[in-house]
Chain A
Amino acid sequence: MDVSNILASHAAKYQSITVEKETPLEVDPGFLTVTDLNPIDEESYNENLEEHLQSLARDGIQALYASLFTLPTRTSPDGPLAQLPPPKTQLPRAKPLPKPKPQTKWEAFAAAKGIQHKVRDRKEWDEERQEWVNRWGRNGKNKQLEEQWITEVPLNADVDHDPRKAARDARKERVAKNEKKHAQNVARAAAANPRDARKQDIEKTLATTRISTASMGKFDKKLDGEKKIRGVKRKFDPTEKSVADEAKASVALLSRLESDSKKTRREPQAEESVLNTRKAVRFASKGRGGLALGREAAGGRSSRGGRGRGRGGKR
């Protein structure tokens, strides 16, 4: 049997998809680019420019397709997706690399304690309705307590106790607390940069001085480019006021002057650690304090060494 014809046709088939060049083509599938580093043939260039360019391009693109169609693929509704390797050619970036974000207090704590980040699902399973419901937002599960038609009222509740309002207030408080924590995180991140911290400090001082006149800076000389302070208004107490109210206000002011709560809070802590020792002790001793914890530890050790009956024996 003569198979030369079959072989020849087979070879012809393959010839059409293989590209032979003196210098092998540089294919960069990551950028879908092929570079042909062979010198341009002057003869065919001068003879028929368009044809020459098209045949050059066809050869290059054929080589590119050959490498693209051998890449591993993934199926998708639009057709096969070829997984591209990272590009070989290095192009300059348009913007600098993103700077790492400063850790929030929780992130620092979680890192110190080795707590893994868990993605919280947006939906929650509702046992009663037997379906997935929003955790928050429209018809959120967090509003269940304030939206249900009947609520249990504790026995010792006030006469005007409104369970719906209490639940709503508690929820609003949680949101406010989260927002406060967020603001603190932002402030901490800003304070980490000494330049920003200094800038903030100066701006704060300047704002204070600007509203420290009787007219709250209304008749002060304005500097070039000085911004108007917003949200500052003069407030006057009513001219007629009950004596009780006046006394109350004076006492409040005096107590504020006397107390040094703000001062003590301002002082920096001895060691800035992610773990709040005071809180940790309170948690470990179940609210009884460090002394109780120490006593317990000492008692436990002695009893273990002695009768071996543990805490029960001491009592």
Chain B
Amino acid sequence: MDARLPKEVEDARTAIFVKGTHTGEVLNVVMRDLMALKRPNAISFSKKNPIHPFDSNTTSISSLEFWAGKNDASLFLVGQTTKKRPNGLTFVRMYDGQVLDMMEVGVDNFAGMDSFKTPKSTPGHKPLMHFASELFDTHPRYIQLKSMLMDFFNGEVVDSICLPGLEHVISVTCAPTPASLNNAPVNMYPNQHPSAPEDVSSLPKIHIRTYTTRLLSSGTRIPRVELTPMGPNLDLSLRRHKAADPELLKQAMKRPKVKKVDIESGLGKKKKNLEVDEMGDLRGRVHVGKQDLNKLQTRKMKGLKGGDLDAEDEESDEEQEDETPRKKRRKQA
């Protein structure tokens, strides 16, 4: 039970692969191959489950939340094939035992791991991820997709990694952006207008490819990389989705307070004029305003006093006298 308590730096998310009421031949293989990539943080529910995450009339959401609690998992991949939506995969992400956001994709084309007679990656090794398209920075649907896939395969924060252990690449590329998507203003909050359903057909397809890497010597420290297709290869199209509740997302995005040592080593909000010297001491620079040399008090001599200056000097003397007792009084109080 202690292992399930919240941690500051979280472990990799565990994903549960759930089969819906009907999964076709394609989806079975897709889920098996995706699970091979996700292992060892994957749990398979091989029996059929009446799960319809987007149908709010059913108890699907509460079932998902129950499973998440039971298995200490925070990701779901639900496979479901229907006549209306063939070969649908639903990614569900949880936060604190509640559903955070959901995303449904349809599998249009698929080539499994078996169809490539090439070396495969070792289970448990972290993949490298590659996203290519400007939509991953601009379109909310694709931002969600990127975030979801990163969380799915690579969400664990590690402080060091063994470089020879990097074996495979998951590459996510969009089809060319259609002109309609480039020009039309993007509706940032499609969830707020459920009456007008989104036109998903205009959204470009997504190609997920997996490769293994081969490192060739280049004569420099950095090797040259060559890729070999590994499989599974998926062509996906976006379907329904549910964006995260802003309030819940805000909670989920909270970061732990940055420790003092980390701030000194340059993490977090950049502190100006602070640096750590070789001895590990924190040194600061203080800005002192430019000195006005005209007001510099030089040695007073009677001979130097003019008529006007004299008057000013007396005034300033009086001021000084005024100030000093006030300071004393304050100290006493």
Contact = CB atoms under 8 A, between A and B. Distances in A.
A56 B171 contact: yes
Contacts of B13: 94
B211 A57 contact: yes
Dominant secondary structure of chain B at its interface with chain A: mixed
Given A17-B224, A54-B229, A96-B96, A61 B128 contact: yes
A107 to B, nearest CB: 19
B95 interface: yes
A14 B220 contact: yes
Contacts of B158: 84
Contacts of B263: none
Contacts of A32: 126-129, 154, 161, 166
Contacts of A60: 130, 132, 171
Interface string A88-105: 011111111111000000
A39 interface: yes
Interface residues of A, number: 58
Nearest to A42: B176
Contacts of B253: 90, 92-93
A175 interface: no
Nearest to B73: A94
B222 A36 contact: no
B240 interface: no
Contacts of B155: 31, 91
Interface string B123-161: 000111111111011000000001100110011011111
A84 B154 CA distance: 14
A95 B7 contact: yes
B100 interface: yes
B150 A61 contact: no
A92 B127 contact: no
A57 B171 contact: yes
Interface string B93-115: 11110001000000000000000
Given A23-B134, A33-B154, A35-B132, 12 more contacts: A17-B220, A32-B126, A35-B131, A39-B176, A57-B130, A57-B169, A60-B130, A60-B171, A61-B169, A65-B225, A84-B158, A95-B10
